[in-house]
Structure 1
Amino acid sequence: MSDATQFSSFRFEVNAAVAHIVLNRSDKRNCLVREFWYDLPQAVKLAERLPEVRCILLRAEGKMFSSGIDLAVLQGLTAMGDGLELARKADHLRRTVLSLQDAISALEETRLPVIAAIQGACIGGALDVVCAADIRLAESATAFTPLEMDFGFVPDLGTVQRLTANLPSAVVADWLMDCRTVSGDEAKHLGFVSRVVADAGELESMAVALAERIAARSPVAIMGAKEVMKFTKEHGVKASLRYTATWQSSVFPGDDVANCLKAKQTGGAPSHENMADDRPLYGKEDTLQQ
């Protein structure tokens, strides 16, 4: 990898215009520790502000993608606000859950496309995380298991909402209420993942290649496609068609379309300018440390 910066709960690297967020605590089954919930949105913001980054790839080291939220974090949530008056305890817990939701939603809300490569097992809170990705890739035998019901509470970080928005409600109810394990093959059949492969090595190679192909295309077009897809979900087809016409009128006259047409004519590969460097807007520059 060409560049790296430090986060305590995962590794962040940039290579070939792709920001890699790599869960690297395989000895702890890549559980989502307390620091993860702060680090994740910060890493997404950093990726957005780096002009050379055009795609985010979320992946993990080891045999398992993630065992989900660290039990110490979960135990802390159950004890949160002890000693507070009941209404104040409830408010404190609600605001904490909202902050955890926001951490995951950063993946969905970023203008950058997000790919999740999921091997081995994806359990509980980790399922919430990958639900927020734009593209999910998996091994055939990857086990997707929601466990929240077994702990006596509703999945509250986005799995219910994002699955319900994209899959039939009966499928979601059967999956979540029974805490059922869905394999990578079944997840592809359901439409939850777009591609499956036989093993983890092939999965990583496929994910990196896909991310780099996406990153090589016009960032204006790729980010625009994600924006229009989100708008369509929120506002419907008719409103989105009108929105897309307005979007396209501002983009089509730019250099990227002309560069692509020229490349088609000459048989070459188009080259696209990076997006603007947003770092000066935030008071200090974010830098990647070797």
Structure 2
Amino acid sequence: MNRRTFLKLGGISTLCSLFAPRLVKRAAAQSEQPNYWIGSKYFIQDTVNTSDLPERIWARINGTWHVYPSRELPQTFVDWNLRARIKMLEDMLNGVMPSHYDGPHNAGVATYSRFGRGDSEFWVNCAYKGMGMVPKPDRIREIIDRLNMTKDHPLNAKVQILIDNYSDDTIWDRSKQGSLELYTSHAFETHSFRNQMRNPVSTVTFLDSTSYELRTITRLLHHNDPTLSEDERNMSEYINAVHGYFHGGPTDHIVAIYYVVEVFDNSPRQSHAGHRVVPPQDRSRGVSLPKGRMPEALGY
């Protein structure tokens, strides 16, 4: 074997050693893609169990069950969220249509899992989602009925109804945020959906001078799922109804409920930036695991 042949074969061997593991990993990921759908009618998310709510929520993360306390958003978050929504709606009444995308409605949602769609080398995904407050269980039917009865009213009348809703902070459930998974169907699944079905941990962030980061467990709801609880059916109906109140279109989209476990205040203020506010963190003692959290593997 001459020098040129030796170097050529050595180069080929090196390239194979670099790319073969990637090809093997990609092939394995594609061959192990789970099917979450029951026929083409609905899916069932089996990585979240909400039967112990409102006290705690179970989540299977990387194949192991964990339990987390269900916690509430801080009053400062609720005030910021509702004020910003009311301001946008009042501007609409004055003929000023929204022209920006910061604030509480548009949230960046980061997810990850070891089984995506098989079309990327990477597991982390970030996507912007329309995000909103969800009514408390004992108020949600009242709000759904109000939306349904007024959905054909003139635009200004509907805007005022939403202002009235957001002006009453006793309506809203502080343990969660709600969103729609608009683009997933049996024929096509988004990266967010694939990640959250496999690994329901999601981080939710907001772009504003007041900036919060929510660490959450995500429960995905399909309206045809016969295992949904009454509360889950109501949340699915409400989130679709409030979306359709302005946008129209179908009212049977997949719903994502983001249950709050931790909240960080990332606002650019020296006394707050990056600190955990739910559960409160004792800054004099440094970073520690929240009390009540059980990070070790638990049987289920």
TM over 0.5: no
Taking structure 1 as the reference length, the TM-score comes to 0.25
Higher relative contact order (CA 8 A, sep 6+): 2
More helix by share: 1
Taking structure 2 as the reference length, the TM-score comes to 0.24
More strand by share: 2
Larger Rg: 2
